[in-house]
Structure 1
Amino acid sequence: MILLTIAASTCLLLSMLIMLITSSISKKTSQDREKISPFECGFDPKTSSRIPFSLQFFLIAVIFLIFDVEITLLIPLIIILKTSKTKEFIIISSFFIFILLLGLYHEWNQGALEWAT
């Protein structure tokens, strides 16, 4: 038991010593002009990094995600076609596509798909 405690203490001490040494070696000076200058991006690092973005871009991205998920729900309908009756398949797939088109019409009617106003 004492041997196990000594081994654990040695490992802990050695790990802390290695972390302390690497921490002190890797200290970077923030006064280096080349390290604080922008690197091929053109943004000034001294200003705020919060740049406002277009709300319409966000809405288009959300709409894309919604329709992308709905497409993944449509793909298994092809596999279901083999195991279900044709009439039931047509009714279910037509209803699903009708709901998609209704949502698209609603977004279009609300003006979420128009980029420039």
Structure 2
Amino acid sequence: MPEPTVRQMPVLAADYFHSYAVVGLLAVVGVLFVAVAFGAGRLLRPVVPTPEKLLTYECGVDPVGEGWAHTQVRYYVYAFLYVIFAVDSIFLFPWATVFAAPGYGATTLVEMFIFLGFLAVGLLYAWKKGVLEWT
């Protein structure tokens, strides 16, 4: 019985560049779609400039006073604490899936308690320093 032979098809340059042509065509169609959408929006919208519309608008507050405002550092600390606990919650989901797998229970449980211990020490430090008190 003869052994089957594997025939390899020669890679032609035309086939190779055809793939790039499809990607390029898709990119051009995407850019044209966005350009047409923005152009239609510019042509169809009503343009009635009034002094109220030309006024600078910042978060629902009329711009009065100085252009410089001081921000207290504690807002950044609250944002940093939020990021820490958001990362903690993101870490909990994959941990729960690995914890359910056979043979990984004790190891992942110890890892999670070490991780939560680090977070608890950080939270305790922030509490002792008075960062969490809103005054």
What interval of TM-score do these two structures reach, taking the shorter chain for normalisation? 0.5 to 0.7
TM-score for the superposition, normalised by structure 1: 0.58
The equivalent of 2:82 in structure 1 is: 64
Q: 1:89 to 1:33 in 2, by over 3 A?
A: closer
1:34-73 equivalences in 2 (<5 Å): 34=52, 35-36=54-55, 41-44=61-64, 47-73=65-91
TM-score for the superposition, normalised by structure 2: 0.51
Relative to its length, the structure with more helix (as a share) is: 1
CA distance, structure 1, for counterparts of residue 134 and residue 76 of structure 2: 11
CA RMSD of aligned residues (A): 2.6
Decide which of 63, 78, 96 is 2:115's aligned counterpart: 96
Q: How much does 1:105 deviate?
A: 0.5
1:1-117 equivalences in 2 (<5 Å): 34=52, 35-36=54-55, 41-44=61-64, 47-83=65-101, 84-116=103-135
Q: 1:94 to 1:51 in 2, by over 3 A?
A: same
8 Å contact kept, 2:74–2:131: yes
Say which SS state the counterpart of residue 75 (structure 1) adopts. helix
Report the number of matched residues.
84
The equivalent of 1:15 in structure 2 is: none
Mark the runs of 5 or more structure 1 residues left unpaired by the alignment.
1-27
Which structure is richer in relative contact order (CA contacts within 8 A, separation 6 or more)? Answer: 1
Identity %: 19
Q: 1:115 to 1:82 in 2, by over 3 A?
A: same
CA distance, structure 2, for counterparts of residue 86 and residue 62 of structure 1: 31
Q: 1:42 to 1:97 in 2, by over 3 A?
A: same
